[in-house]
Structure 1
């Protein structure tokens, strides 16, 4: 889904990695100001500004509990800086992680469906998931 969102984004911004004090609120604020400076009041779907916290079957199969999956932070050449990674504990703090909230009800062929129905359907799950198993539906 992250790649599809990037493809459809109206505003695509070049990622700006920062290297010092990655977990500080000052760094998070500085990064926010950099993004706003790049955006220059442009509106619409924005991409390329953060690594997305994503749903992944690797989270439910990871040997340690309470981890999260991150992916993305696409460069302008459409390649993500961050491959899928599940090594962070779910309370990990980093300026580069973002949360993109997605509505739970989606439209499929003119019909409203809960995203969990789509993910549990053998044929429809490929609309949202490109992994072998699509059985991790939410973080607690």
Structure 2
């Protein structure tokens, strides 16, 4: 099933009917070939001893999509569905800092295109995808500035309201994000502007492979991936 056919099928569906179909397609391997190969993003910090600590992590070049390279469509998802997919592929969702680093190192930066009506409908999901493709004009490489990322954040477990989703990003061409880190939506809410960026869960820190949870729990290394006071929320 191509991206066009998928959105025709889910055109009038609500999220709880649409998501199982998207999950089935993605877990069956129905994703475009350009998402098969992740790309490196580099970051570094300076330790208390003045020594530079470097890390490399590997990210999907675009947001999670259904279909082939010739007929694909980006698919916004709830964090619960995104987490199931990430777990199945040994991946995780990014932090706010990682979204910023990915944007800075992206090859294709596009102007955000906000839409205002029927934001949580499949037809607007599809419409927004087509707008992005019109902007992209076939350019290839790590892309950014086209979606708000669903992110992991310490704000989720500390929000007084339960069952939250954290979103961040959608950088403008001046590098400033439209969306600050936000946990105001319930976790089943998803709209056209949300994107799922997968990150391989093994991080190379000073030449040594570490799981992302080890990095985020390390008193020094956590700042390679996280710029929040609390970096202890790992998974939805």
Give the TM interval when normalised to the shorter protein: over 0.9
Of residues 194, 217, 220, the one that matches 1:97 is 194
Partner of 1:123: 220
How far did residue 93 of structure 1 move?
Answer: 1.8
TM-score w.r.t. the length of structure 2 is: 0.58
Query: Is it true that 1:24 corresponds to 2:24 in the alignment?
Result: no
Q: Unaligned stretches of 5+ in structure 2?
A: 1-97
How far did residue 46 of structure 1 move?
Answer: 0.3
Partner of 1:8: 105
Pairs within 5 Å for 1:24-63: 24-63=121-160
Count of aligned pairs between the two proteins: 139
Give the CA RMSD over aligned residues: 0.6
- 1:106 match: secondary structure: strand
Separation in 2, partners of 1:62, 1:133: 12
Partner of 2:167: 70
Listed one character per residue, the Cα deviations across residues 20-39 of structure 1 (whole Å, up to 9, x for unaligned) are 11011111101000001111
- 1:116 match: secondary structure: helix
Which protein has the bigger helix share?
2
Runs of 4+ in 1 over 2 A off after TM superposition: none
TM-score w.r.t. the length of structure 1 is: 0.98
